[in-house]
Amino acid sequence: MEGTIHESETLPFTIEQFFKFIKEKKLMTARCIHCGTLHLPPRPVCSNCYSKELSWTQLETKGKLVTYTVIHIAPEQFQKNAPYAYGILELENRLRIPGMIKNIEHEKLKVGIELEVDFDIEPSLNWPQWPRYFFRPP
């Protein structure tokens, strides 16, 4: 799916815009037109070549779990979820994204399993009210 460049190149390459796309159930990254580096999270200037010429690219939501944990002692706002699984997913182009893993028995977690990014677009009541993405078995 890589290469689906968003129509409007005027959208800012910001974290806020990343979450606006999450609300549309799209996992989007910024690609540097000059050197090709993909930036997840997006950033307004390429950290590799300093170019400001970027484009939005939609990512395939399937990935491979590169590491995981199950969190038992949680911060206050996540205590109702504990224990919950959390991991880092490797997407296409070796891009990595961290997040909560849901709908899986914790015994079945293993490095290398395939997971998919899904979206919880209900805005959070907590600051900064972003929607959330999470991972689940395909």
Partner 1 sequence: MKGKPLAAVVSAGLSKFGKMEDFCGRELFAQAASEAFERCPNLNPKKDVKALFIGMMSESFEHQGHSAPMLSDWTGLLPTPAIRTEIACASSAAALRTGIFSILSGIYDIVLVGGFEKMTKRSTAETTEILGMAADYPFEQWNGITFPGLFALMATAHMHKYGTTEQQLGLIAVKNHYNGSLNPKAHIQKEVSLETVMASRMVAKPLKLYDCSLISDGASCAVLTKPELAKQYTDCPVYIIGSGHGSDTLGLYQRESLTSIKATRNAAKEAYNMANLKPTDIDMAEVHDCFTIAELIAYEDLGFCPPGEGGKFIEKGTPTLEGDLPVNTSGGLKSKGHPVGATGIAQLYEIYLQLTRQAEKRQVEGCNIGLAQNLGGSGASCLVHIFRRG
Taking CB under 8 A as the rule, does residue 105 contact partner 1?
Answer: no
Q: Which of 69, 93, 104, 119 binds partner 1 (CB under 8 A)?
A: 69
Tokens (6 digits) for 94: 């070796």
109: nearest Cα among 91, 124, 89, 127: 89
What is the distance between the alpha carbons of residues 40 and 15, in angstroms, rounded to a whole number?
9
Stretch that binds partner 1, among 3-11, 28-36, 54-62, 79-87 (CB under 8 A): 79-87
* Residue 104 binds to partner 1 (criterion: CB under 8 A): no
**Residue 68: partners with Cβ closer than 8 Å, 6 or more residues away:** 85, 86, 87, 88, 101, 109, 111
Length of the chain: 138
| Spatial distance between the Cα atoms of 45 and 101, rounded to a whole number of angstroms | 31
- For partner 1, the binding residue among 81, 114, 121, 138 (CB under 8 A) is 81
Options 8, 79, 105, 125; binder of partner 1; rule CB under 8 A: 79
Residue 78 interacts with partner 1 (CB under 8 A): yes or no: yes
Restricting to residues 19-58, name those near partner 1 by CB under 8 A: 19, 41
**Contact residues: partner 1, CB under 8 A:** 15, 18-19, 41, 66-76, 78-79, 81, 83-84, 86-88, 96-100, 106, 111, 130, 132, 134
